[in-house]
Amino acid sequence: MTKFDPVAKGERGRGRETVTARERRARMETFRVTGTHPELAALEAASRADDARRRREKRQRAGVATRGKAYVDVAIDGALKGSIVIELLEDVAPMACARFARRLEREAGDEDGVAYGSSCAMTRVDDELRVVFGARGVSETSVVEVEGDLTHGAASVGVDRTSGEFSIATANCASLDASSQCVGRVVSGLEILRAITHRDRGVMAPRDVTVLACGVVRGACDVSTLVGVAAKARVEAATKARATAEARRNETQHDTLKRLRDESAAKGVEISDAVRSTIAAKKKPDAPPKKPKKSMLDSVLGSDSDESDK
CATH code at position 100: 2.40.100.10
- Given this model, what pLDDT does residue 132 score? 95
Distances (CA, A) of 33 to 30, 44, 47, 89, 209: 5, 19, 24, 51, 76
Percent of the chain with pLDDT over 90: 24
Hey, how many other C-beta atoms are within 10 angstroms of the C-beta on 163? 19
**Do 53 and 191 fall into the same domain?**
no
Q: How confident is the model at residue 293 (pLDDT cuts 50, 70, 90)?
A: low
In this predicted model, what pLDDT tens digit does every residue of 206-245 receive, in sequence order?
Answer: 989 999 888 888 766 666 666 665 666 666 666 666 667 6
Tell me the per-residue pLDDT of 54-109, one tens digit each, with 9 for 90 and over: 776 666 555 555 788 999 999 999 888 889 999 999 888 999 999 999 999 877 77
Dist CA 223 CA 63 (whole Å): 17
* pLDDT at residue 191 greater than cutoff 70: yes
Q: Which of 84, 87, 63, 66 is nearest to 75 (CA)?
A: 84
Q: Report the chain's C-alpha Rg in angstroms.
A: 37
Regarding whether 215 and 182 lie in a shared domain, the answer is yes
Query: What's the full length of the chain, in residues?
Result: 310
Amino acid 150 reads L
Question: CA torsion sign, 183 to 188 to 192 to 198?
Answer: positive
Query: What value does the mean pLDDT take over residues 141-163?
Result: 88
Buried b or exposed e, range 236-273, using 16+ CB within 10 angstroms: eebeeeeeeeeeeeeeeeeeeeeeeeeeeeeeeeeeee
The pLDDT assigned to 183 comes to 94
With respect to residue 205, please indicate whether it lies within any of the assigned structural domains.
yes
Q: What is the DSSP string of 213-231?
A: EEEEE-SS--GGGGSTHHH
> How many folded domains does the chain comprise?
2
Contacts of 146 (CB under 8 A, 6+ apart): 181
Residue 129 predicted with pLDDT over 90: yes
Helix axes 38-65, 21-34, angle to 10 degrees: 80
Residue pair 165/133 in contact by the 8 Å Cβ criterion: yes
In this structure, of 104-108, 184-188, 290-294, the range with the lowest mean pLDDT score is 290-294
- Residue (of 196, 184, 199, 226) closest to 94 by Cα position: 184
Query: Given a cut of 50, is residue 305 above it in pLDDT?
Result: no
Both 93 and 208 in a single domain? yes
Q: Which of 36-50, 171-185, 209-223, 270-284 has the highest mean pLDDT?
A: 171-185
- pLDDT of residue 248 exceeding 60, the answer is yes
Pairing state between β 130-135 and 166-169: antiparallel
Q: Residues with Cβ < 8 Å from 94, sequence gap 6 or more?
A: 147
86 and 211 in a common domain: yes
pLDDT of residue 1: 46
Q: What is the C-alpha separation between 199 and 131, in angstroms, rounded? A: 13
Averaged confidence pLDDT in the chain: 80
Q: Is 139 left (phi over 0), alpha (psi -120 to 50) or beta?
A: alpha
**Which domain range does residue 51 map to?**
22-64
Same domain, 197 and 229: yes
Asked if 184 and 156 count as a contact pair (C-beta separation under 8 A), the reply is yes
- The 10 Å Cβ neighbour count of residue 209 is 21
pLDDT digits (tens, 9 = 90+) for 15-28: 556 778 888 888 88
Provide the pairing of β-strand 79-88 with 209-217.
Answer: unpaired
Whether residue 295 is contained in a domain is answered as: no
pLDDT tens figures, 252-284: 888 888 888 888 888 888 888 888 888 877 766
User: Rounded CA gap, 186 and 130, in Å?
Assistant: 12
| Amino acid occupying residue 134 | G
Tell me what the mean pLDDT of segment 159-168 comes to.
Answer: 91
Q: Are both 94 and 219 inside the same structural domain?
A: yes
Residues 6+ apart with CB under 8 A from 193: 74, 84, 131, 168, 170
Residue 88 resides in a domain:
yes
Answer yes or no: do 147 and 197 share one domain. yes
Does residue 275 lie in a domain region? no
Residues 158 and 56 in one domain: no
What is the reported pTM?
0.58
pLDDT at 300 over 50: yes
